[in-house]
Structure 1
Amino acid sequence: LVLGLCLMVVVFLVGLFIFMRVEGWGFIDSFYMMVITLSTVGFGEIHPLSEKGRLLTALVIICGVGNFAFIVSSFTRMLVDGHLHNLLWRRKVQKRIDKLENHYIICGYGRIGHVVVQEILKVSQDVVVVEADPVLVERLKREGIMHIAGDATNDKLLIDAGLKRAKSIVTALTDEAANVYVTLTARQLNPGISIIARANDASHITRLEFAGANKVVLPHMIGGVRMAHSVLRPTVTDFLDLAVRGHIDLQLEQLAISEKSIFVGKNLMDSNIRKDFDLIIVAIKRADGNLVFNPGPREELCVGDTLITLGRQSDLQKICEFL
C-alpha cells in the first residue's frame, strides 16, 4: 500500500512536468488536468494537446490507472486479512503506552512471564509486555494486556514500551543471551531502572549482575526451595503464602519512608505505629542495604528506610498518608 501511494505521487509529479514543460501550461491548469486524468472523470482536455503531449498523457493514464488498481487491491487485502484492524489497534495501544510513567515492562510471556504479569496486575494495571510468539501475542490481545509484538532484544521495541520512563523491567526470556542483552540495554538507556533478570543456571548469575541486573532469579531453584519448605515447615509456608498473596485480610508489605514523613528521626516506640495503625514491623531495610530483623523499640527510623510490615490492607493504606 505504501509503495503504491509513493508510485502514485511519482506519476502525478511526472504528469505535472509533462503538462508544464512539454505543453507549456501553467501550474494550476497542469494540476487540474492531472486530477481529472488520474480520476478518469472524463471532463476532457483543458487546452488542445500536441501529438507528443497526447502520447505522454496516455502513458500517464496507463501508469496512473494501473497503480490506482494496485492501491485498491492492496487496501482490500489489508481489510480482508485484518491488517488494518491490527494496525489501528497497535496505534491505540501505543498511545496508551506513551502516557505511562513508572510502569512495569515484562519481556516474555511464557510460563514465568505469565505469572509475573498476573501478580503485578493485582496491584497495578501499568504493565507492558514484549513478546515475539504470535500465539502468545494473540493471547495477550484477548486478555486486554498492553503489549508490543516483537523481539525484546530490539532496542526500538524497548523504547516504544517506555523503557526510559519505566520503574522496573523483568526479563523472563528463555534464551540466556537474550536476557543478558536486554539487561545491558535497559541499564544503558535507563540507569535508574530496577532490573529483575531470569537465569537458568547459577553460573549465569554473575554475568547478569555484571550486565546491570539488580536481582537475578532462578525459577527452578525457587520452586525447589518452596517445595522443600512445604515439607519441612508447612505451616510457616502456608502463612507466608497467605500474607504475600493477600488471600486473607493480612498482608506483608514494604513501606518506604520519605524525607517528609512524620516518622523520620523517631524510634519505633515513639512513632506509635503499632498503637495507631495496628501494624507489626518485621524488619527495616536501611538506605545502605543493611537489614535489621525484629527491630527493637529504640530502633530509629531514617529517611530512605524501608519497613517490612505485616498488617491489614486498610491499615497499610492508612499509614501511607504519613510516609
Structure 2
Amino acid sequence: MDRTTNLLITVLLAVFLVGLGTAGYMVIEDWTIMDSLYMTVITLSTIGYGEVNPVSQPGRIFTLFLIVMGVGFFLYVIGNVVQFLVEGRIRLILGRHKLDKQISHLSNHYIVCGYGRMGRALCRYLIQKGLKFVVIDKNEDRIPVMNTDHVLYISGEATNEENLVKAGIRRASNLITALGSDSDNVFLVLLAKGLNPNIYVVARASQNASKKPLDTAGADVVVSPFDIGARRMAHAILRPGVIRFLEHAFADEDTDIHIEEIPVAKSSKLVNVTLRESNIRQDYNLIILSIIQKDGEMQFNPSAGTTIGADQRVIAVGSSDSLRRLEVALNPH
C-alpha cells in the first residue's frame, strides 16, 4: 500500500470515528453537537478532562466502545509511521548495497567526479555510447536526480581516497574531474594518479591560472569550458560552415554523421595492411581523417599507402553503422 492510500485511510478513519462519537452522544444522551463533539475528541484522544454532562449507563458503554476504537486508531497510526520509517531505511540500505555490488563488478570504466550541469550532461553522453561509469558527488540534494537518471553513484567527497577506492579507481580506465573548485580538481588529480598511475585523467579548469597546476599534477587533458565557449563563438563567426559540419558530426540525435576514434588491436586482420588494400573507403563508406601513432604523433589525412599498425588509433568520419562495422574489424573482441 502506498503512502497516499495510507494517508487517505487514516483521514477517513479519523473523520468516521469523530462523526460516529458525536452522533452517538447526540442520540444516546441527547446532548448538543458541541458537547457531543467535545466529549468525543477527549475520549478518542484519551485525555480525560472529565465528562461535560452526567453520562447514563448506555452512554458509559458507548464511551468504553469509543475508547477502544480510539486506542486502536492510534495504534494503527503509530504502526504506519513505524512501517514507513523502517521500510524507508531498509529500502535505502538494500538500494545502497545493490549499487555497491554493481560498482564492485566494474572494470575499465569511467569515474565522473561531480554531477552538476556539466557532469550530468557528460554522463548523458556516456550513456548514449553505452559506456560504464560511476559518479561521485557530495551534494545529497542530487541523490534523487541520480536515482532518476539510473546512474551508479557514491555520495561523498570525490577528494576522499576511500570513495575513490569504492568507485574502483584501481580498475578504472578514465577519470573526469568536474568539481566546482579548481583546487579540489588539482588535489583529486594528484590523488587519482597516486592510486592508479595508468588512469587517463581529464580535468576541468575554471580559471586559466589553474591549467598549469592541473597539468603538473598529472592530468592528461585539461579542459577550460570558458575558453572552449569563446573559441566556439569566434569560429561561428569566422568559419560558420566548419562549425555547422562539426555540430552535425557530434550531435548524435540529429544526424547520422559521426566522428569516432577507434583503437587498432593486434588481432585485427587489417594490421600491416595499407589503407588502399584495406578498402575501408569502398567497403565501409568512411573517410579516414587521421591515424594516431603509438607515441601520440598524429598523422592527418594519411595517404593511401599508409600502413595500419597495431596499437594505433584511427579517426574516421561516417555513419554510425559503418563506424561500428569498422570498429569490429579494427578491434575484434
Please say which structure displays the higher CA radius of gyration.
Answer: 2
What are the Cα deviations for residues 212-271 of structure 1, in whole angstroms up to 9, with x where unaligned? 111000011111111211222222112111112222122111111111222222221112
- 1:203 and 1:118 map into 2 onto residues whose CA distance is 29
CA 130–78 in structure 1, closer or farther in 2 if over 3 Å, else same: farther
Among 236, 257, 262, the residue aligned to 1:250? 257
Report the alpha carbon displacement of residue 125 of structure 1 after superposing the two structures with TM.
4.8
Identity of aligned residues (%): 35
RMSD: 1.9
Mapped pair 1:118 → 2:124: yes
Among 284, 289, 295, the residue aligned to 1:277? 284
- 1:222 and 1:86 map into 2 onto residues whose CA distance is 40
The one-letter code sitting in structure 2 at the alignment partner of 1:236 is V
What are the Cα deviations for residues 5-24 of structure 1, in whole angstroms up to 9, with x where unaligned? xxxxxxxxxxxxxxxxxxxx
CA contact (8 A) 1:78 1:84 kept: no
Mapped pair 1:153 → 2:154: no
Report the alpha carbon displacement of residue 138 of structure 1 after superposing the two structures with TM.
2.1
Match of 2:309 in 1: 302
Q: Secondary structure at the match of 2:316?
A: strand
CA contact (8 A) 2:182 2:207 kept: no
Gaps of 5+ in 2: 1-78
Superposed counterparts of 1:228-243, under 5 Å: 228-243=234-249
Superposed counterparts of 1:1-323, under 5 Å: 76=82, 79=85, 82-246=88-252, 247-323=254-330
Q: Secondary structure at the match of 1:128?
A: strand
What are the Cα deviations for residues 51-110 of structure 1, in whole angstroms up to 9, with x where unaligned? xxxxxxxxxxxxxxxxxxxxxx9x959926933322221111111111111111100011
Q: Secondary structure at the match of 1:82?
A: helix
Q: Secondary structure at the match of 1:292?
A: strand
What are the Cα deviations for residues 175-231 of structure 1, in whole angstroms up to 9, with x where unaligned? 111111111111111121110011112222121122111100001111111121122
The one-letter code sitting in structure 1 at the alignment partner of 2:269 is I
The one-letter code sitting in structure 2 at the alignment partner of 1:121 is I
Q: Secondary structure at the match of 1:112?
A: helix
Q: Secondary structure at the match of 1:254?
A: strand
CA 254–125 in structure 1, closer or farther in 2 if over 3 Å, else same: closer
- 2:321 and 2:89 map into 1 onto residues whose CA distance is 47
CA contact (8 A) 1:103 1:165 kept: yes
- 1:163 and 1:286 map into 2 onto residues whose CA distance is 27
- 1:304 and 1:78 map into 2 onto residues whose CA distance is 56
Report the alpha carbon displacement of residue 306 of structure 1 after superposing the two structures with TM.
0.9
The one-letter code sitting in structure 2 at the alignment partner of 1:322 is A
- 2:208 and 2:281 map into 1 onto residues whose CA distance is 40
- 1:199 and 1:233 map into 2 onto residues whose CA distance is 26
CA 272–125 in structure 1, closer or farther in 2 if over 3 Å, else same: closer
How many residue pairs get matched?
A: 250
Q: Is 125-134 or 155-164 further displaced after alignment?
A: 125-134
- 2:149 and 2:307 map into 1 onto residues whose CA distance is 46
- 1:194 and 1:216 map into 2 onto residues whose CA distance is 11
Match of 1:29 in 2: none
Gaps of 5+ in 1: 1-72
In the superposition, the TM-score normalised over structure 1's length comes to: 0.73
| Structure 1 runs (4+) greater than 4 angstroms displaced | 75-78
